[in-house]
Amino acid sequence: MTAYSIKELHHLLITKKITPSQIVADAVANLAKHQVLNATVTELVAEAKALALKLDQMPVPSDNYLFAIPYFAKDNFATKGIKTTASSKILENFVPSYESTVTNILKENNSILLGKSALDELGMGGHGLYALTGDVLNPWDLTCITGGSSSGSAALVAAGVVPFALGTDTGDSVRKPAGYCGIVGFKPTYGLISRYGVFPYAPSLDTVGYFTRSVEDSAIVLDYLGQEDHQDATSLKSKEQEYFKNLTPATSKQKFAYLKNAHLLLPPEIKTHFDKLYRQLANQGFTVTGIDFPVDLLKALLPVYMVISFAEAVSSHSMLDGINFGTRVDGDSYEKVMINSRTEGFGHVVKRRYVIGSYAVSKENQTLLFLKAKRVRRLIVAALRTVFQEYDILLLPAASSIAPKINSIKDQILTEAELENYVDDLLVLANLMGNPSLTLPLAFVDKMPIGINVNAAPFADQKVFNASLLIEKMIGIKNTVAPEGGKNNG
């Protein structure tokens, strides 16, 4: 039953063809079938069933699409009285005394939290292989990665366990997993969704996002979550409202662009699907233009992201020292307590990022690395702003390939040439600028999904939804669930 969309489930509830308890029972049964994915940290089955029983006795509000809809929250959203670990050993016993704004909004609308999903530790990772609980497996092929860091949420939506799930996106942590898992992943304009109660990674880049299996559902969710919040200093109010009500396929007045230099780097089996879509758009009267973007700025995307995000992470996580916060490991001095706690509390990926971040913000390196990275970020944003002055929509590949095999990632040693292959870093553009960005399914290659990413200028979230709806209708891939419970290729 949870393979239905939010919109479909709402209609079934309104027409009394199903009850909240039936939805939750189906979700719980589906969750049990998908334990192989290793996508959860905490499951709240008893609590979800109890809430569903209460909702059974309540009238279904016709205007509340999220009433009785089950969901998962990435385990870096604080949930009062519920363990919140950020998939890190240093927080494995942390139970917040406060609630994130986003989960509180969902609670007030009687959505049903089914549990907390696994992530790359503290949001640091792009593969779904660095959670304290282990690898998160792709429901389309258990030998492949989901992408990260919002790996558990992506896997659960793609498997049909829940119709939507919360994530966070600092580099591409919602949109790339969406591409690898054949679902819709949306990162709204920076500040549009409150980050209060969400564990920070890099505050100038962090954005709350989420997964659905259709563009309609994505617009529905933003109608609820896109609220100004004075508890978040970066919260911003948009002039746009009622995204779902205003959802309509983009018209031919809209001008589309793609990055010609990046497009030419795609492998033939991926490139052919983008070429086909561009022809379809042109045949329907849309302007689709391949544009040049400074290659030196594209090659700078990854290093700029790394320097800025790693440096901000060092500051954001400085309290995780076993004294102020986090699981303590004893030592004979406060310095030893901090060293021991952080040594045992963090995984190797996080430690490496802290070392790089500390190096970048050290007194002797700030001008050379951190300040320079911020200046280059400004150049990238300026170039992107020029694109949006002429074009309404920028289309990007969500990734240069289908989801890689887990073993290939774990054995990977990047060469300098591979680091300069910027195609897999393109989604970082939207984090550097803060513009809305949505990934949706484009096609299947070797029975695995590939995604296309849709971008518009900041606060043009409706444009992104409308262009994505147009593409979704053209392609015909909507509300797709991975076959055979993730066991088709495992």
**173 assigned to active site:** yes
CB 166 within 8 A of CB 73: yes
CB 301 within 8 A of CB 425: yes
Per DSSP, 191 falls in state T
**372 assigned to active site:** no
Q: Which of 74, 116, 187, 463 is catalytic?
A: 74
The H or E element containing residue 219 is: helix 215-225
**235 assigned to active site:** no
Residues 234, 276: Cα–Cα separation, whole Å: 40
Residues 72, 453: Cα–Cα separation, whole Å: 23
Residue 12 burial (CB < 10 Å; 0-12/13-18/19+)?
middle
Token output for 449: 């999904």
Q: One-letter amino acid identity for 38?
A: N
Residues 113, 351: Cα–Cα separation, whole Å: 32
Three-class secondary structure assignment of 304-370: HHHHHHHHHHHHHCCCECCCCECCCCCCCCHHHHHHHHHHHHCCHHHHHHHHHHHHHHCCCCHHHHH
Q: Which of 21, 87, 117, 149 is catalytic?
A: 149
Q: Which of 117, 150, 173, 194 is catalytic?
A: 173
Q: Between the CA of residue 47 and those of 308, 484, 485, what are the distances in Å?
A: 40, 28, 24
Phi, psi (rounded to 5 degrees) for 198? -100, 130
The H or E element containing residue 303 is: helix 301-316
| C-alpha 279, offset from chain centre | 29
Token output for 359: 């190096």
Residues 176, 459: Cα–Cα separation, whole Å: 21
Residues 200, 206: Cα–Cα separation, whole Å: 7
**Catalytic residue positions, numbered:** 74, 149, 173
